């Protein structure tokens, strides 16, 4: 768990030192002695778990958790309250505000470790579930949900930085006929084989390929002009055309793709939906012009 981090929030330096001593062998530890500083630290560092004292001068723990749970960046961070209070109504209030657990003072090393580790385990399970929900299970590349998140992010970045952004809409040619001829299991093999072509040609950290659904894929190319996007699209087309996709008995099969390319400098005159739709229009042009070609808007 060495990559996980904890934020300790307590106005007592002795409590911070005691908790740090318990946790710093297993976690990266941040510490804050007041609520305002804690909120800023949480937003800047996004710790995995926050240990939050309830009774502090100025801004108490209830006020701090209220702010954290209403902030986009920190709302999902589990908060464990630190308290000497054991009254049921106080515990109920904290849980109702979103606290994940309580640790009572004076601190027991083993209890602190167990309660923190329980939260870390739950976080890691949730992250695994979230990660799997963003991956297409057949091709093992990002799925449509993941694409939607990525394109929103890259479109916003292109607007802020006034950069070009390109997108490729890719469709396997005559895929229904391929399935009808060779069977759906072989169709799955073809989809996986083509998806691997994307990973070979999508090299830069910001470039992103996803399965949209069925036999259609999208590739996002941030900060890429039309010439660059057309070049990558042509590489993908050629590599797919060169693929030999063997059947279970070793018999070779072939498949091709058509690709629509759109490059845009985002502005108020065009929406993200239009940007994607125009790539699809270019794809349909490629389909209607003989297939196995690349067309731009």
Catalytic residues: 215
Compute the distance between CA of residue 13 and CA of residue 119 in angstroms, rounded to an integer. 24
φ/ψ (deg, to 5) at 168: -115, 125
Compute the distance between CA of residue 46 and CA of residue 74 in angstroms, rounded to an integer. 7
Q: Extract long-range pairs of 83-91: CB within 8 Å, 24+ residues apart.
A: 83/53, 83/54, 83/55, 84/55, 85/54, 85/55, 90/54
* Strand-pair partners of 165: 222, 264
Residue 9 sits at the vertex; the CA angle it makes with 6 and 15, to the nearest 5 degrees, is 100
Yes or no: say if 262 and 221 are a contact pair by the CB < 8 Å rule.
no
Q: Quote the tokens at residue 132.
A: 């799997």
Q: Extract long-range pairs of 178-185: CB within 8 Å, 24+ residues apart.
A: 178/253, 178/255, 182/247, 182/253
First to last CA, the chain: 49
């Amino acid at each position: 768990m060495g990559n996980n981090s904890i934020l300790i929030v307590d106005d007592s330096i002795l409590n911070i030192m005691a908790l740090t001593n318990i946790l710093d062998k297993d976690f990266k530890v941040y510490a804050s002695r007041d609520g305002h500083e804690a909120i800023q630290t949480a937003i800047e560092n996004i710790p995995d778990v926050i240990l939050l004292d309830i009774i502090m001068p100025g801004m108490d723990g209830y006020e701090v958790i209220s702010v954290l749970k209403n902030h986009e960046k920190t709302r999902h961070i589990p908060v464990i309250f630190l308290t000497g209070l054991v009254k049921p109504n106080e515990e109920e209030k904290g849980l109702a505000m979103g606290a994940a657990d309580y640790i009572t003072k004076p601190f027991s090393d083993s209890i602190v470790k167990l309660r923190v580790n329980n939260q870390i385990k739950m976080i890691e399970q949730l992250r695994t579930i979230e990660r799997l929900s963003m991956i297409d299970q057949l091709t093992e590349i990002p799925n449509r949900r993941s694409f939607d998140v990525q394109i929103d992010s890259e479109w916003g970045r292109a607007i802020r930085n006034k950069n070009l952004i390109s997108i490729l809409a890719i469709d396997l040619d005559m895929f229904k006929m391929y399935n009808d001829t060779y069977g759906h299991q072989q169709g799955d093999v073809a989809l996986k084989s083509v998806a691997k072509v994307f990973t070979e040609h999508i090299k830069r950290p910001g470039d992103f390929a996803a399965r949209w659904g069925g036999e259609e894929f999208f590739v996002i190319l941030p900060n890429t002009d039309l010439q660059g996007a057309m070049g990558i699209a042509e590489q993908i087309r050629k590599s797919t055309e060169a693929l030999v996709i063997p059947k279970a008995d070793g018999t070779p099969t072939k498949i091709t793709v058509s690709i629509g390319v759109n490059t845009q400098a985002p502005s108020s005159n065009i929406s993200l939906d239009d940007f994607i739709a125009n790539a699809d229009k270019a794809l349909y042009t490629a389909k209607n012009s003989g297939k196995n070609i690349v067309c731009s808007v």
